Amino acid sequence: MHAIAYDEIHDEFSVPVPLPQAILTFRGAANGEEAPIRILQGPKTQLVDPERLATDPVHSEIFVPQGNSVLVFARDANGDVAPIRILKGPDTELGASAVGVDTVHNLLIVAGGGQGGQRFRIFNRTDNGNVKPKAVIGGPKSELRSIGGPFAIYSPKGWIVATVRGGEGLASDLGFIGIWSVNDNGDVPPRWKVGGPKGVFQQPRGVTLDPKNKTIIASDKRLNAVLSFYFPEMF
Protein backbone atom coordinates (compact mmCIF):
# COMPACT_ATOMS: atom_id res chain seq x y z
CA MET A 1 0.00 0.00 0.00
CA HIS A 2 1.63 3.19 -1.16
CA ALA A 3 -0.84 5.90 -0.20
CA ILE A 4 -3.42 6.86 2.37
CA ALA A 5 -5.51 10.01 2.55
CA TYR A 6 -7.62 11.20 5.47
CA ASP A 7 -10.71 13.29 4.68
CA GLU A 8 -11.39 15.38 7.76
CA ILE A 9 -14.69 16.78 6.51
CA HIS A 10 -16.29 13.39 5.98
CA ASP A 11 -14.17 11.61 8.59
CA GLU A 12 -13.02 8.77 6.38
CA PHE A 13 -9.79 7.59 4.84
CA SER A 14 -9.05 6.08 1.47
CA VAL A 15 -6.29 3.75 0.29
CA PRO A 16 -5.34 2.40 -3.12
CA VAL A 17 -4.78 -1.35 -3.37
CA PRO A 18 -2.71 -2.12 -6.46
CA LEU A 19 -3.05 -5.87 -6.94
CA PRO A 20 -6.88 -6.01 -7.09
CA GLN A 21 -6.93 -2.55 -8.73
CA ALA A 22 -9.19 -0.95 -6.15
CA ILE A 23 -9.68 2.16 -4.04
CA LEU A 24 -11.00 1.33 -0.59
CA THR A 25 -12.60 3.89 1.72
CA PHE A 26 -13.02 3.24 5.43
CA ARG A 27 -14.74 5.25 8.11
CA GLY A 28 -12.30 7.36 10.09
CA ALA A 29 -12.67 5.37 13.29
CA ALA A 30 -12.25 1.99 11.55
CA ASN A 31 -10.47 -0.53 13.74
CA GLY A 32 -9.53 -4.16 13.40
CA GLU A 33 -10.94 -6.25 10.62
CA GLU A 34 -13.57 -3.80 9.44
CA ALA A 35 -14.97 -3.78 5.92
CA PRO A 36 -14.58 -0.69 3.76
CA ILE A 37 -17.62 1.55 3.38
CA ARG A 38 -16.94 1.89 -0.35
CA ILE A 39 -14.92 -0.04 -2.94
CA LEU A 40 -14.08 1.50 -6.27
CA GLN A 41 -13.18 -1.37 -8.60
CA GLY A 42 -14.03 -2.72 -12.03
CA PRO A 43 -13.56 -2.20 -15.77
CA LYS A 44 -15.25 1.23 -15.89
CA THR A 45 -12.81 2.62 -13.35
CA GLN A 46 -9.87 2.09 -15.74
CA LEU A 47 -7.72 1.53 -12.69
CA VAL A 48 -4.33 -0.06 -13.34
CA ASP A 49 -1.95 -0.66 -10.49
CA PRO A 50 -3.27 2.22 -8.36
CA GLU A 51 -0.37 3.13 -6.11
CA ARG A 52 -1.19 6.60 -4.85
CA LEU A 53 -4.15 8.93 -4.41
CA ALA A 54 -5.27 12.23 -2.95
CA THR A 55 -8.66 13.28 -1.68
CA ASP A 56 -10.25 16.71 -1.99
CA PRO A 57 -12.67 16.87 0.95
CA VAL A 58 -13.91 20.33 -0.03
CA HIS A 59 -15.02 19.39 -3.52
CA SER A 60 -15.62 15.73 -2.71
CA GLU A 61 -13.27 14.14 -5.21
CA ILE A 62 -10.60 11.46 -5.31
CA PHE A 63 -7.56 11.84 -7.57
CA VAL A 64 -5.58 8.79 -8.69
CA PRO A 65 -2.30 9.27 -10.58
CA GLN A 66 -1.78 6.56 -13.13
CA GLY A 67 1.21 6.64 -15.46
CA ASN A 68 0.59 9.38 -17.98
CA SER A 69 -2.79 10.37 -16.57
CA VAL A 70 -4.72 11.41 -13.49
CA LEU A 71 -8.13 9.82 -12.93
CA VAL A 72 -10.66 11.85 -10.95
CA PHE A 73 -13.57 10.13 -9.22
CA ALA A 74 -16.48 11.43 -7.20
CA ARG A 75 -15.68 10.86 -3.55
CA ASP A 76 -18.81 8.82 -3.00
CA ALA A 77 -18.37 6.67 -6.12
CA ASN A 78 -18.87 3.05 -5.20
CA GLY A 79 -18.43 -0.08 -7.29
CA ASP A 80 -17.62 -0.09 -10.98
CA VAL A 81 -17.84 3.65 -11.69
CA ALA A 82 -16.09 5.66 -14.42
CA PRO A 83 -13.90 8.66 -13.63
CA ILE A 84 -15.61 12.06 -13.87
CA ARG A 85 -12.49 13.60 -15.39
CA ILE A 86 -9.24 12.32 -16.83
CA LEU A 87 -6.22 14.55 -17.16
CA LYS A 88 -4.26 13.01 -19.98
CA GLY A 89 -2.48 13.84 -23.22
CA PRO A 90 0.83 15.02 -24.60
CA ASP A 91 0.40 18.60 -23.42
CA THR A 92 0.07 17.48 -19.80
CA GLU A 93 3.67 16.16 -19.92
CA LEU A 94 2.67 13.54 -17.31
CA GLY A 95 4.37 11.10 -15.64
CA ALA A 96 2.14 10.96 -12.60
CA SER A 97 3.36 9.12 -9.53
CA ALA A 98 1.71 11.18 -6.77
CA VAL A 99 -0.86 13.94 -6.48
CA GLY A 100 -1.99 16.64 -4.09
CA VAL A 101 -4.84 19.14 -4.12
CA ASP A 102 -4.65 22.75 -2.97
CA THR A 103 -8.26 23.36 -2.04
CA VAL A 104 -7.71 27.06 -1.32
CA HIS A 105 -5.95 28.02 -4.53
CA ASN A 106 -7.91 25.44 -6.50
CA LEU A 107 -4.88 23.66 -7.88
CA LEU A 108 -3.89 20.10 -8.66
CA ILE A 109 -0.23 19.31 -8.11
CA VAL A 110 1.13 16.22 -9.82
CA ALA A 111 4.52 14.76 -8.97
CA GLY A 112 6.39 12.43 -11.22
CA GLY A 113 8.63 11.94 -14.16
CA GLY A 114 7.84 12.42 -17.80
CA GLN A 115 9.58 14.95 -19.95
CA GLY A 116 12.58 16.34 -18.10
CA GLY A 117 12.83 14.12 -15.05
CA GLN A 118 11.19 14.51 -11.66
CA ARG A 119 8.83 17.47 -11.54
CA PHE A 120 5.88 19.04 -9.80
CA ARG A 121 3.36 19.95 -12.48
CA ILE A 122 0.68 22.36 -11.38
CA PHE A 123 -2.76 22.36 -13.00
CA ASN A 124 -6.08 23.94 -12.27
CA ARG A 125 -7.97 21.57 -10.03
CA THR A 126 -10.72 21.03 -12.58
CA ASP A 127 -8.49 20.61 -15.63
CA ASN A 128 -9.68 17.83 -17.87
CA GLY A 129 -8.18 16.18 -20.92
CA ASN A 130 -5.06 17.35 -22.69
CA VAL A 131 -4.13 20.50 -20.75
CA LYS A 132 -0.77 22.17 -20.32
CA PRO A 133 0.42 22.61 -16.75
CA LYS A 134 0.20 26.17 -15.38
CA ALA A 135 3.64 25.80 -13.87
CA VAL A 136 6.37 23.20 -13.61
CA ILE A 137 8.84 22.98 -10.74
CA GLY A 138 11.96 20.97 -11.46
CA GLY A 139 15.58 21.02 -12.44
CA PRO A 140 18.93 20.87 -10.72
CA LYS A 141 18.31 23.80 -8.39
CA SER A 142 14.99 22.34 -7.31
CA GLU A 143 16.86 19.25 -6.06
CA LEU A 144 13.86 17.14 -7.09
CA ARG A 145 16.08 14.23 -8.07
CA SER A 146 13.69 11.63 -6.67
CA ILE A 147 10.46 12.45 -4.88
CA GLY A 148 10.29 10.11 -1.92
CA GLY A 149 6.62 9.22 -1.85
CA PRO A 150 3.17 10.71 -1.37
CA PHE A 151 3.46 14.41 -0.58
CA ALA A 152 1.34 16.92 1.34
CA ILE A 153 -0.21 20.25 0.50
CA TYR A 154 -0.76 22.99 3.08
CA SER A 155 -3.51 24.84 1.27
CA PRO A 156 -3.83 27.92 3.53
CA LYS A 157 -0.37 29.02 2.45
CA GLY A 158 0.06 27.05 -0.73
CA TRP A 159 3.01 24.95 0.38
CA ILE A 160 3.99 21.72 -1.33
CA VAL A 161 5.72 19.48 1.21
CA ALA A 162 7.56 16.43 -0.12
CA THR A 163 10.39 14.15 0.78
CA VAL A 164 13.34 13.83 -1.56
CA ARG A 165 15.30 10.62 -1.54
CA GLY A 166 19.04 10.68 -1.24
CA GLY A 167 19.72 8.18 -3.95
CA GLU A 168 18.90 4.76 -5.29
CA GLY A 169 20.94 2.78 -2.76
CA LEU A 170 19.56 1.21 0.39
CA ALA A 171 20.42 4.28 2.44
CA SER A 172 21.75 7.78 1.95
CA ASP A 173 22.21 10.82 4.14
CA LEU A 174 21.21 13.18 1.33
CA GLY A 175 17.45 12.85 1.77
CA PHE A 176 15.33 15.67 3.18
CA ILE A 177 11.88 17.18 3.42
CA GLY A 178 11.57 19.99 0.89
CA ILE A 179 8.97 22.74 0.83
CA TRP A 180 8.02 24.60 -2.33
CA SER A 181 5.24 27.05 -3.10
CA VAL A 182 2.35 26.47 -5.49
CA ASN A 183 3.39 29.83 -6.91
CA ASP A 184 6.85 28.54 -7.82
CA ASN A 185 7.67 27.87 -11.44
CA GLY A 186 10.81 26.58 -13.09
CA ASP A 187 14.06 25.45 -11.57
CA VAL A 188 13.61 26.92 -8.11
CA PRO A 189 15.16 25.62 -4.90
CA PRO A 190 12.98 24.52 -2.02
CA ARG A 191 11.93 27.32 0.32
CA TRP A 192 13.04 25.15 3.22
CA LYS A 193 14.84 21.83 3.66
CA VAL A 194 14.05 20.00 6.86
CA GLY A 195 15.79 17.05 8.51
CA GLY A 196 18.49 16.79 5.85
CA PRO A 197 20.66 16.57 3.80
CA LYS A 198 23.24 15.22 6.24
CA GLY A 199 20.45 15.00 8.76
CA VAL A 200 18.48 12.21 10.29
CA PHE A 201 16.92 10.68 7.16
CA GLN A 202 18.22 7.57 5.44
CA GLN A 203 15.43 6.89 2.92
CA PRO A 204 12.48 9.25 3.48
CA ARG A 205 9.15 8.27 1.97
CA GLY A 206 5.72 9.72 2.75
CA VAL A 207 4.90 12.96 4.50
CA THR A 208 1.83 14.42 6.21
CA LEU A 209 0.99 17.50 8.27
CA ASP A 210 -0.40 18.21 11.70
CA PRO A 211 -1.28 21.91 11.38
CA LYS A 212 -2.67 22.21 14.89
CA ASN A 213 0.67 21.26 16.38
CA LYS A 214 2.67 22.83 13.54
CA THR A 215 4.34 19.53 12.82
CA ILE A 216 5.58 17.74 9.71
CA ILE A 217 5.44 13.95 10.00
CA ALA A 218 7.46 11.74 7.66
CA SER A 219 8.23 8.06 7.25
CA ASP A 220 11.64 6.61 6.53
CA LYS A 221 11.96 3.22 4.90
CA ARG A 222 15.50 2.41 6.05
CA LEU A 223 14.91 3.63 9.59
CA ASN A 224 11.58 1.79 9.47
CA ALA A 225 10.28 4.67 11.50
CA VAL A 226 7.97 7.66 11.68
CA LEU A 227 9.54 11.02 12.54
CA SER A 228 7.79 14.23 13.64
CA PHE A 229 9.40 17.64 13.16
CA TYR A 230 8.11 20.75 14.90
CA PHE A 231 8.30 23.35 12.16
CA PRO A 232 6.09 26.38 12.87
CA GLU A 233 7.75 28.40 10.13
CA MET A 234 5.56 26.94 7.40
CA PHE A 235 2.20 27.07 9.19
Partner 1 sequence: MARYKRGRTWLGGIGFLAVLASAALGLLGSGNPAADRVVRASEAALLRPNGSPQMTSMQALPPEQDELMCPWLPASAETTLMAALQAPLTASNVGADSSALKPVRTIRDPYAAYSSVAVDPTNNEVVLTDENLFQILVYDRLANTPPTAKMTEPKRIIGGLNTKIEFQCGLYIDPTSGDIYAVNNDTVDTLVIFSRQAKGDVPPSRELHTPHGTFGIGVDEQAQEMYLTIQHDAAVVVYHKMAQDQEGPIRRLQGDSTRLADPHGLALDTKNQLMFVTNHGGRHEVKPGGRKAVTYAEGGTDDKPNWPIGEEVPGSGRHFPPAITVYPLKATGDVAPLRVIEGPKTQMNWPTGLAVDVERGELYVANDMGDSILVFDVNASGDVAPKRVIRGPKTNLSNPTGVWLDQKNGEVWAANFGNHSATVYKMNASGDTPPLRMIRSGPMEEPALGIGNPHPIAFDTKREEILVPN
Q: Is 48 in the site for partner 1 (CB under 8 A)?
A: yes
User: How would you label 164-189 residue by residue, b for 16+ Cβ within 10 Å and e otherwise?
Assistant: bbbeeeeebebbbbbbbebebeeebb
Give a three-class secondary structure readout of 7-50.
ECCCCEEEEEECCCCEEEEEECCCCCCCCCCEEEECHHHCCCCC
Q: Which is nearer to partner 1, 11 or 91 (CB)?
A: 11
Q: What type of residue sits at position 93?
A: E
**Candidates 87-95, 125-133, 139-147, 214-222 — which segment interacts with partner 1 by CB under 8 A?**
214-222
Among 116, 140, 169, 186, binds partner 1 (CB under 8 A): 169
Q: Is 104 in the site for partner 1 (CB under 8 A)?
A: no
Q: Is 111 in the site for partner 1 (CB under 8 A)?
A: no
Cα separation, 45 vs 66, in Å, equals 12
Q: Which is nearer to partner 1, 18 or 89 (CB)?
A: 18
Q: What type of residue sits at position 105?
A: H
Shortest spacing between CB 132 and partner 1, in angstroms: 26
Q: Which is nearer to partner 1, 107 or 207 (CB)?
A: 207
Q: Is 217 in the site for partner 1 (CB under 8 A)?
A: yes
Residue 5 is classified by DSSP as E
Q: Is 154 in the site for partner 1 (CB under 8 A)?
A: no
Among 78, 85, 185, 229, binds partner 1 (CB under 8 A): 229
**Candidates 48-56, 103-111, 121-129, 132-140 — which segment interacts with partner 1 by CB under 8 A?**
48-56
Q: Which is nearer to partner 1, 113 or 124 (CB)?
A: 113
Shortest spacing between CB 80 and partner 1, in angstroms: 8
**Candidates 89-97, 107-115, 124-132, 170-178 — which segment interacts with partner 1 by CB under 8 A?**
170-178
Q: Is 155 in the site for partner 1 (CB under 8 A)?
A: no
User: Could you give the dihedral angle defined by the CA atoms of residues 100, 101, 102 and 103, in that order, rounded to the nearest 10 degrees?
Assistant: -150
